[in-house]
Amino acid sequence: MTLTAAPETTSAYDLGSARALACRECRHEIPLAAEFACPRCFGPLEVAYEFPTVTRASIEAGPKSIWRYKDLLPVPSTVEQHANTEPGLTRLIEADNLARALGVRKIWIKDDTGNPTHSFKDRVVAVALAAARELGFSVLCCPSTGNLANAVAAAAARAGWDSVVLIPSSLEQAKIVTTAVYGGTLLAVDGNYDDVNRLATELAAEHEDWAFVNVNVRPYYAEGSKTLGYEVAEQLGWRLPQQVVVPVASGSQLTKIDKGFTELGTLGLVEPTPYTVFGAQATGCSPVARAFEAGHDVIQPQKPDTIARSLAIGNPADGPYVLDSVRRTGGSVGHVSDSEVVAGIRLLARTEGVFAETAGGVTIATTKKLLEAGALDPDAETVLMITGDGLKTLDAVSGEVGPTATVPSTSAAVREALANRG
Amino acid sequence: MTLTAAPETTSAYDLGSARALACRECRHEIPLAAEFACPRCFGPLEVAYEFPTVTRASIEAGPKSIWRYKDLLPVPSTVEQHANTEPGLTRLIEADNLARALGVRKIWIKDDTGNPTHSFKDRVVAVALAAARELGFSVLCCPSTGNLANAVAAAAARAGWDSVVLIPSSLEQAKIVTTAVYGGTLLAVDGNYDDVNRLATELAAEHEDWAFVNVNVRPYYAEGSKTLGYEVAEQLGWRLPQQVVVPVASGSQLTKIDKGFTELGTLGLVEPTPYTVFGAQATGCSPVARAFEAGHDVIQPQKPDTIARSLAIGNPADGPYVLDSVRRTGGSVGHVSDSEVVAGIRLLARTEGVFAETAGGVTIATTKKLLEAGALDPDAETVLMITGDGLKTLDAVSGEVGPTATVPSTSAAVREALANRG
């Protein structure tokens, strides 16, 4: 079966321009539904579209959130009329100080810490919730230890839905609070994160009204990351950057940014200029980077051991597709040590006033490393994805930064301290 | 001297439509400069303008930040061309769940947690920095224990300025980190917050290139809060709300939102419909609320004792002007206990998925109390100002929220836990 087969709109659902779910492996298509695996080959399903005519003007006249791109997402046409967190349209800032520090001609920072719960997860969860409502679900669920748990609990609260968030019972109190405060059902599960994940898959099969955003509605959820690509292009004045560096956890975000760029070109919203996609991982969880280095197509799972916990997925579902994107566009996947991650966080904060979580440190440090290795072109305009907030991973830097000096409460003491700064 | 005196533009500075500093007490005017007290009566100075023609269309075509209102601020016309944090244009969300919970016809939440360092301080600091640059300063400074310190350090980093932030040396490590990470000069001062403030005033007088945002450039800094009023009106479709509830620390924000609403009416950008301004304080630091209740014009200072530390200013400089705004518009100033603050944070998070810092809890809880007292009209459209982020005051709720249940890793255990939720 090929993509040129006449599309049939058998769906009873209003999911905008989404017309089917297509297997990424065998390209078999099934009608839109809460499915994530191909019934023929068990490959991952992805949303296929039949896009309407979309213009720059129609997008620019839309809401100041990801819903300005609703015609390109698997969501009902009335999506913005339901209470939602209104994520997206976060800042894209010219990072000239960072560019100078790294010796790059032009760098832009896509600062997704400005989202409602301060990570890009608000984007994917908002799309998952909108699709889940149309598909007949009424409870929003996920297994997570951090950003995703925050985003799901907040989005459900705002929508008036119940939520069920599963976390390992060993999670620190501070991380529990940031989800529990939204008042949904928060279950601390005795077991490690793998146990929690297995339990989520089991529960998704048992509860027909439970939408696990990253399990049974994953194909819709994942599409939310395309909006990062759309926004970058729009904010650059409707054009594609030459290079983009994206942190890799499951790998979904990187592949969807790539997909977003490609779609904009196909739709005539931007010139389809060439771009190169780079992936960034922490050495302590670098299965995709290692496969890239070894020239493999298959990902060898790794037991994560890194401070970049939001990227700590040892067996990334979209790893092979990350390799495809990166190889197709002439990029690569790098990895950095935990101490480089901390240095990356500090460099970004010092140069641009953006305080990123550990994943952001991974992106900055990997960019530096890829430049040094000659993989990244210092003369090409480069966008770096900062997808989460430093306030959520304070531990990473708390031993590293502190007051310049402690002084008595006199101006003479201040002058002396400043003179001694060197 | 009256405001009808022919304005003279004696300033050598390009500070946009700002034409002078005017005393709020005796209306004496002086040329634009880094002054904050009237040379005649020592009253506080405020920026006076001669506004150009501004249209809705010209604003809407501007940057997606506070700089869309640059013609109404004391900043150079080229302000957005200098690297800055690009604050503002944060979400205004319809809070129907909260409105139902409180029994109000219509509530909107202005969610300023979406700013670069997640509080409204990014607005005022950005304006202060822009004015300070034009006034010849080169170091950005403040005394602060929290949001302001974050905002100053981040803004200076991004602008490539040095910063000097003064904090009490007793501050907890986690709060130190969120400023220290930006890499400016952070001085831990042996003494309490009053000592730190006194030291700041002394240092401002001694260092001609140091701009203490809330001391020697305070008149410019304060104007940044007008943008909260401008944005609310624009986001409502260019009209004023009927009621607004604003947390009161120094009182500056409330008076500037009032000023912003009034200016929009005068400029013909909105119909000058009547609106009522309400102030919100924590009982443990409620000098303005107490003066309001007692019918006084003078604020009796209070030693703060509340978890709402970002509002803990015992002798608020703009307290009398808050009383003026509130009385002129028919509003009032309420206050709530610390336990009500926590309940307010939880109510907002549960109903709207917005996790506010303690100041936000003060706003929500005071709104509830003013409704119960009959001061706030439940049939009037009401905007609540949420000006800072819950991630910065986790301690306030960490003892109050937690997992619904802790369960073994089986779906049967989950079902049982859910059945027992009640």
Average pLDDT of span A292-305: 95
pLDDT at A175: 85
Average pLDDT of span A281-299: 97
Interface check A11 vs B, CB under 8 A: no
Using the beta-carbon criterion (under 8 Å), do B404 and A114 form an inter-chain contact?
A: no
Spell out a b/e string for A37-69, using b for 16 or more CB atoms within 10 Å of the CB, else e: ebeeeeebbbbbbeeeebeeeebeebeebbbbb
CB of A391 closer than 8 Å to CB of A355: yes
- All residues of chain A having their beta carbon less than 8 Å from the beta carbon of residue B190 are 406-409
> Per-residue pLDDT for B10 more than 60?
no
**Backbone φ/ψ region at A100: left (φ over 0), alpha (ψ -120 to 50), beta:** alpha
Residue A269 distance to chain B (closest CA, Å): 20
Using the beta-carbon criterion (under 8 Å), do B187 and A410 form an inter-chain contact?
A: no
- All residues of chain B having their beta carbon less than 8 Å from the beta carbon of residue A406 are 169, 187-190
Q: pLDDT tens, B116-132?
A: 999 999 999 999 999 99
pLDDT at B11: 66
> Per-residue pLDDT for A5 more than 80?
no
What single string gives the DSSP state of each residue in A314-365?
SS-TTHHHHHHHHHHHT--EEEE-HHHHHHHHHHHHHHHS--B-HHHHHHHH
Residue A404 distance to chain B (closest CA, Å): 5
CB of B412 closer than 8 Å to CB of B420: no
pLDDT at A172: 81
Using the beta-carbon criterion (under 8 Å), do B177 and A401 form an inter-chain contact?
A: yes
Q: Which residue of A has its CA nearest to B85?
A: A353
Interface check B173 vs A, CB under 8 A: yes
Report, in this order, helix, strand and coil percent for chain A, each rounded to 5. 40, 20, 40
Spell out a b/e string for B75-105, using b for 16 or more CB atoms within 10 Å of the CB, else e: bbeebbeebbbbbbbbbbbebbbbbebbebe
pLDDT at B7: 44
Characterize the bridge pairing of strands B139-143 and B162-168. Answer: parallel
Tally of helices (H runs) and strands (E runs) in chain A: 15, 14
> Per-residue pLDDT for A2 more than 60?
no
Using the beta-carbon criterion (under 8 Å), do A157 and B353 form an inter-chain contact?
A: yes
**Backbone φ/ψ region at A237: left (φ over 0), alpha (ψ -120 to 50), beta:** left
Average pLDDT of span B78-103: 97
- All residues of chain A having their beta carbon less than 8 Å from the beta carbon of residue B91 are 65, 86, 116
Q: Do domains A91-118+222-398 and A136-216 have the same CATH topology?
A: yes
pLDDT at B6: 42
Q: pLDDT tens, A185-242?
A: 999 999 887 889 899 999 999 999 999 999 999 999 999 999 999 999 999 999 999 9
What single string gives the DSSP state of each residue in A190-223?
ES-HHHHHHHHHHHHHH-TTEEETTTTTHHHHHH
Q: How many Cβ atoms sit within 10 Å of the Cβ of residue B278?
A: 26
- Residue in B111, B185, B392 nearest the CB of A391: B392
- All residues of chain B having their beta carbon less than 8 Å from the beta carbon of residue A351 are 157-158
Using the beta-carbon criterion (under 8 Å), do A409 and B118 form an inter-chain contact?
A: no
CB of A119 closer than 8 Å to CB of A149: no
Interface check B116 vs A, CB under 8 A: yes
Instruction: Return the residue in A158, A175, A397 with the most chain B beta carbons within 10 A, the one to mutate for interface testing.
Output: A158
Q: pLDDT tens, A166-178?
A: 999 988 888 899 9
Query: In this structure, what token pair is assigned to residue B347?
Result: 């109510």
Interface check B170 vs A, CB under 8 A: no
Using the beta-carbon criterion (under 8 Å), do A406 and B353 form an inter-chain contact?
A: no
Instruction: Return the residue in B108, B122, B181 with the most chain A beta carbons within 10 A, the one to mutate for interface testing.
Output: B181
Q: Quote the mean pLDDT of chain B.
A: 95
Residue B307: Cβ-neighbour burial (10 angstroms; 0-12, 13-18, 19+): buried
Range 34-53 of A in CB contact (< 8 A) with B? none
CB of A357 closer than 8 Å to CB of A111: no
Cα separations (Å) of B354 from A61, B249, B350?
Answer: 26, 21, 8
Calpha distance B56→B59 (Å, rounded): 5
- All residues of chain B having their beta carbon less than 8 Å from the beta carbon of residue A409 are 189-191, 195-196, 198-199
> Per-residue pLDDT for A27 more than 90?
yes
pLDDT at A186: 96
DSSP SS3 for A21: strand
Type of residue at A153? A
Q: pLDDT grade, residue B4 (50/70/90)?
A: very low
Using the beta-carbon criterion (under 8 Å), do A411 and B203 form an inter-chain contact?
A: yes
Q: Among B172-186, B277-291, B329-343, where is mean pLDDT lowest?
A: B172-186
- Residue in A113, A174, A349 nearest the CB of B183: A349
Type of residue at A214? N
Using the beta-carbon criterion (under 8 Å), do A190 and B404 form an inter-chain contact?
A: no
Query: Does domain B91-118+225-398 fall into CATH 1.10.760.10?
Result: no
- All residues of chain B having their beta carbon less than 8 Å from the beta carbon of residue A157 are 97, 349-353
CB of A371 closer than 8 Å to CB of A102: yes
Using the beta-carbon criterion (under 8 Å), do A421 and B185 form an inter-chain contact?
A: yes
Using the beta-carbon criterion (under 8 Å), do B115 and A114 form an inter-chain contact?
A: yes
Q: What is the CATH number of domain A91-118+222-398?
A: 3.40.50.1100
CB pairs under 8 A between A and B: 243
Residue with tokens 């600062």: A111
E strand or H helix at A247, and its extent?
strand A243-247
Calpha distance A179→B272 (Å, rounded): 42
Spell out a b/e string for A150-180, using b for 16 or more CB atoms within 10 Å of the CB, else e: bbbbbbbbbbebbbbbbbbbebeeebbbbbb
Interface check A57 vs B, CB under 8 A: no
Q: Among B21-25, B105-109, B350-354, B414-418, where is mean pLDDT lowest?
A: B414-418
pLDDT at B422: 61
Q: What is the CATH number of domain A136-216?
A: 3.40.50.1100
Cα separations (Å) of A343 from A177, B181, B373?
Answer: 28, 10, 53
Query: Does domain B121-219 fall into CATH 3.40.50.970?
Result: no
- All residues of chain B having their beta carbon less than 8 Å from the beta carbon of residue A140 are none
DSSP state letter for A224: T
pLDDT at B171: 85
Domain ranges, ordered by start, for chain B: 1-50, 91-118+225-398, 121-219
Q: pLDDT tens, B179-221?
A: 999 999 999 999 887 889 899 999 999 999 999 999 999 999 9
Query: In this structure, what token pair is assigned to residue A183?
Result: 């008042």
Non-local (6+) Cβ contacts of B108 within 8 A are B92, B93, B94, B95, B232, B236, B241, B381, B382, B383, B384
> Per-residue pLDDT for B309 more than 70?
yes
Calpha distance A253→A362 (Å, rounded): 15
- All residues of chain A having their beta carbon less than 8 Å from the beta carbon of residue B94 are 83
Range 375-414 of A in CB contact (< 8 A) with B? 389-392, 394, 397-398, 401-411, 414
Residue with tokens 């309940």: B343
Using the beta-carbon criterion (under 8 Å), do B403 and A93 form an inter-chain contact?
A: no
Calpha distance A251→A253 (Å, rounded): 6
> Per-residue pLDDT for A292 more than 60?
yes
Interface check B176 vs A, CB under 8 A: yes
Q: pLDDT grade, residue B329 (50/70/90)?
A: very high
CB of B119 closer than 8 Å to CB of B112: yes
Calpha distance B333→A92 (Å, rounded): 39
pLDDT at A178: 96
